[in-house]
Amino acid sequence: MSEDASEKAYNVLFLCTGNSARSVLAECVLNRHGQGRFKAYSAGSHPTGRVNPYALELLKHQNYPTGDLRSKNWNEFSGVGAPELHFVFTVCDSAASEVCPVWPGQPMTAHWGLPDPAAVEGSEAIKRAAFADTLRMLTQRLSIFTNLPLAALDKLSLQKHLDRIGQAADSSNSAAQ
């Protein structure tokens, strides 16, 4: 990326259509595990206007701060006063197929699609398990991402790593190698 890349904080935006579950979970995970190297945000193309109650319950249970979480439109991150984005990741297939706003600064982008836990039907236990599974998958992918040697990678190599993380199977693998 650049010489001073190891010293700067990277702004990362997670996108999903409704911005109520997957993107919000990713925002929380990266803000915790990014250890100040990353500042995560989330948004949606058609935000629901509220964070999914199962997502909030899980995050609270895992001791993530939830007080400032809200479902917001992705236009908040493309206008004047928006943070300069370094990475934009779509976490749902619907958002990945939509025409996104033009992000100032041309951030690196990748699609990290995950099943929608909010679409799972069944008992309360089944729904909670779907959210926990999504959180686990995001934590795994973001662990790989935060351990990439960003300062040492050129843009093409970095893009390959980002794409591999999104294609990673549901277990630790060689996506970062």
Query: pLDDT digits over 130-162, tens only?
Result: 999 999 999 999 999 999 999 999 999 999 999
Residue 1: is its pLDDT beyond 70? Answer: no
Is 175 part of a structural domain of the chain? Answer: no
Whose tokens are 């629901």? That residue is 48
Count the domains in the chain. Answer: 1
Which contiguous run of DSSP H or E holds residue 87?
Answer: strand 87-90
For residue 168, how far is the Cα from the chain centroid? 15
Cα–Cα distance for residue pair 142/26, rounded to 1 Å: 8
Residue 150 is predicted with a pLDDT of: 93
Catalytic, out of 1, 100, 120, 132: 100
Is 142 part of a structural domain of the chain? Answer: yes
Please report, for the domain that includes residue 43, its CATH number: 3.40.50.2300
Assigned token pair, 10: 């990277």
The percent of residues in the chain predicted with pLDDT above 90, rounded, is 76
28 carries an active-site annotation: no
Is 148 part of a structural domain of the chain? Answer: yes
Lowest-pLDDT range, 4-8, 22-26, 41-45?
4-8
Is 99 part of a structural domain of the chain? Answer: yes
Is 160 part of a structural domain of the chain? Answer: yes
Secondary structure of residue 117 in the 3-state scheme: helix
Which pLDDT tens digit goes with each residue over 43-56?
999 999 999 999 99
Q: Are 163 and 14 in contact (CB under 8 A)?
A: no
Residue 28 is predicted with a pLDDT of: 97
92 carries an active-site annotation: yes
Catalytic, out of 92, 135, 138, 165: 92
Is 177 part of a structural domain of the chain? Answer: no
114: burial class by Cβ within 10 Å (0-12, 13-18, 19+)?
Answer: buried
Residue 173: is its pLDDT beyond 70? Answer: no
* Higher-pLDDT residue of 105, 49: 49
**Residue range 70-75: mean pLDDT, rounded:** 94
Residue 29: is its pLDDT beyond 70? Answer: yes
Secondary structure of residue 88 in the 3-state scheme: strand
Domain that holds residue 138: 7-167
Confidence label for 80 from pLDDT (cuts 50, 70 and 90): confident
16 carries an active-site annotation: yes
Q: Which amino acid, 36?
A: G
Record the pTM: 0.88
Q: Are 1 and 151 in contact (CB under 8 A)?
A: yes
Q: Are 165 and 137 in contact (CB under 8 A)?
A: no
Separation in Å, CA 19 to CA 25, 27, 44, 166: 10, 10, 5, 18
Is 138 part of a structural domain of the chain? Answer: yes
Catalytic, out of 12, 13, 15, 16: 16
Is 150 part of a structural domain of the chain? Answer: yes
Cα–Cα distance for residue pair 103/74, rounded to 1 Å: 10
Residue 3: is its pLDDT beyond 80? Answer: no
